Amino acid sequence: MSPSVHAVILAGGEGTRFWPLSRRENPKQFLRVLGDESLLQQTANRITSLISPENIYIVTQEVHSKQVLAQVPWLLRENILGEPCGRNTAAAIAMAALHLQERGKEGVMIVLAADHMIGETDRFVEKLRVATEFAAQEDFLVTLGIRPTGLETGYGYIRLGAGIKEVRGHTVHAVERFVEKPDRSRAETYVADGNYLWNSGIFIWSLQTILRAYESFLPELLDSVRKNRTFPPTPEGNKQRGKHYGRLPAQSVDYGILEKSSRVAVLPCEFSWSDLGSWNALYTVLPKDQQNNAVLGKHQGVDTQGCLIRSGGRLITTLGLSDLIVVETEDALLICPRNRDQDIKKLLEKLRSAGEESVL
């Protein structure tokens, strides 16, 4: 008998990575930057061939719950799990796991980010089937590892260990170790080695296995999230719940559990993937013109190459530019080198300290 499978889509986000297009009230996962659907819509629709809609859950900040339902109208209202504030993945996944447990659910839980780009959907779904079957049979925390397609310093890496089991013709491996984001020379070594994968942040495990892992490695956080669910749905209860949740540690499940457990497995994958963690990451997956520019909207340029240019409606004209990000919206304009896009947070901190809250 096939195990019941539940998908949890993490749709938090503070709206910083794609500023000025993304904002606190409209973060990246709700944007249509890769086609006619938002990243959240693409993520949800991608898995409906594997998972029944009633078994798909979305964790988001409470202020975005209506936006989630507007974008994914077939989602059950009770399957939108609202956080008072974002506290990273460990708290969000604990909330979802407890929600399933409290409703008597069993089986396998797939955890997906709402803002990833994934190509070759059929390959992706097949890998999820393999990982789901393995996780249903074995007491392991499973992650998908992406075969590197180039040099990348913005991702964490996983070193492949020995094979554990073959499922549907695919070998699931032990994780030898997790590696933090490397510098360029280390990334070159990892790619040349052939035994390192990009850490996708896509997880598959049985509900029992992940709850036992929380009990072992993050028991206080699990207890706090459990307590947080007991506050009554009254104005005062909601206020107390928000304060309590805001005191939870902002910790990733990778650091809090996976890097500490000896029961972690990885399934190597070959589909195209990007976590779209920055404007430059988006540039790498967008189609380019003859001058290697990625253009969204209206643009005319001379001697312009290697740029990402996004127009919010007005015509953008450029002359003699290279390797820049140019993003125009109704109330803000961003211009920066493509290799400085990770520093946009510093720019937002300056805007915040200058009182420019209206553009945040």
Could you give the number of structural domains in the chain? Answer: 2
Q: Are residues 166 and 242 in the same domain?
A: yes
User: pLDDT, tens digit, for every residue of 138-159?
Assistant: 999 999 999 998 888 888 999 9
| pLDDT confidence tier of residue 96, bands split at 50, 70 and 90 | very high
| pLDDT confidence tier of residue 2, bands split at 50, 70 and 90 | low
Q: Are residues 196 and 293 in the same domain?
A: no
What range defines the domain where residue 238 resides?
5-277
User: pLDDT, tens digit, for every residue of 148-203?
Assistant: 988 888 889 999 999 999 999 999 999 999 998 888 899 899 989 999 999 999 99
User: pLDDT, tens digit, for every residue of 235-251?
Assistant: 899 899 999 999 999 99
Q: Are residues 219 and 343 in the same domain?
A: no
Asked whether the predicted pLDDT for residue 339 surpasses 50, the reply is yes
Q: Are residues 123 and 38 in the same domain?
A: yes
User: pLDDT, tens digit, for every residue of 251-308?
Assistant: 999 999 999 999 999 999 999 999 998 899 999 999 999 999 999 999 999 999 999 9
Integer Cα distance of 82 and 62 in angstroms: 4
Residue 302: how many CB atoms within 10 A of its CB? 10
How distant, in Å, are the alpha carbons of 80, 142, 167, 223 from that of 107?
20, 14, 18, 22
Residues 6+ apart with CB under 8 A from 137: none
Q: Are residues 252 and 292 in the same domain?
A: no
Domain of 48, CATH number, reads 3.90.550.10
Q: What was the pLDDT predicted at 61?
A: 94
Q: Is the pTM of this model over 0.85?
A: yes
Q: Are residues 287 and 252 in the same domain?
A: no
Query: Which of the listed residues 235, 259, 277 is the one where a domain comes to its end?
Result: 277
Q: Are residues 92 and 203 in the same domain?
A: yes
Query: Which of the listed residues 277, 304, 338 is the one where a domain comes to its end?
Result: 277
pLDDT mean across residues, the chain: 94
Asked whether the predicted pLDDT for residue 1 surpasses 70, the reply is no
Q: Are residues 109 and 237 in the same domain?
A: yes
Q: Are residues 272 and 286 in the same domain?
A: no
Q: Are residues 130 and 15 in the same domain?
A: yes
Q: Are residues 155 and 298 in the same domain?
A: no
Residue 189: how many CB atoms within 10 A of its CB? 11
- Quote the tokens at residue 260: 């500490």
Q: Are residues 238 and 293 in the same domain?
A: no
| Interval 14-38 mean pLDDT | 90
Query: Which of the listed residues 277, 295, 330 is the one where a domain comes to its end?
Result: 277
Asked if 102 contacts 140 with a C-beta cutoff of 8 angstroms, the reply is no
